[in-house]
Amino acid sequence: METKLVFTNKRTYWVVVAALVCTLVAHALLLNRRFDLVTMLHILWISGILWLIYLRHERALLNIKLWIIVAFIASPLLRMGGRFLNEMMQDFTTSQVEFYLFRLVSVVVGLIMLNWIRTTVKLENTGIES
């Protein structure tokens, strides 16, 4: 049996694709300014996720979840922790509340997107053997 990715809500499909495309464009612009291997790897990963979504491959769901966890949850939390430790060492002389608020909003959006993906994107058997 072959397993395919199914978006039960079309709005979810378009939000995920739009977010991935915006991320891809942002990373492409970063790569245009200065070549960085990590940025190139991000571009390859995002392109791969978009390709997997297009193919409705079963691994797309795992990659979408990983992308949301890394990009919207883990990365902002690690940046906030790093900035907080740096400010603690400098006795909070230059604390920027906007930095923390932006990262906190990113984490909340990531958690909402992860829950939305978890409830509206499923893997279904097609009944076709490969």
pLDDT digit string, tens, across residues 1-47: 788 999 999 999 999 999 999 999 999 999 999 989 999 999 999 99
Rounded alpha-carbon distances, angstroms, from residue 96 to 39, 43, 73, 82, 88: 26, 30, 20, 13, 13
Beta bridge partners of 5: 123
- Give the helix, strand, coil percentages of the chain, each rounded to 5: 75, 10, 15
What's residue 23's pLDDT?
A: 94
Cα–Cα distance between 94 and 60 in angstroms, integer?
42
pLDDT in tens, 52-92: 999 999 999 999 999 999 999 999 999 999 998 988 888 77
What's residue 126's pLDDT?
A: 79
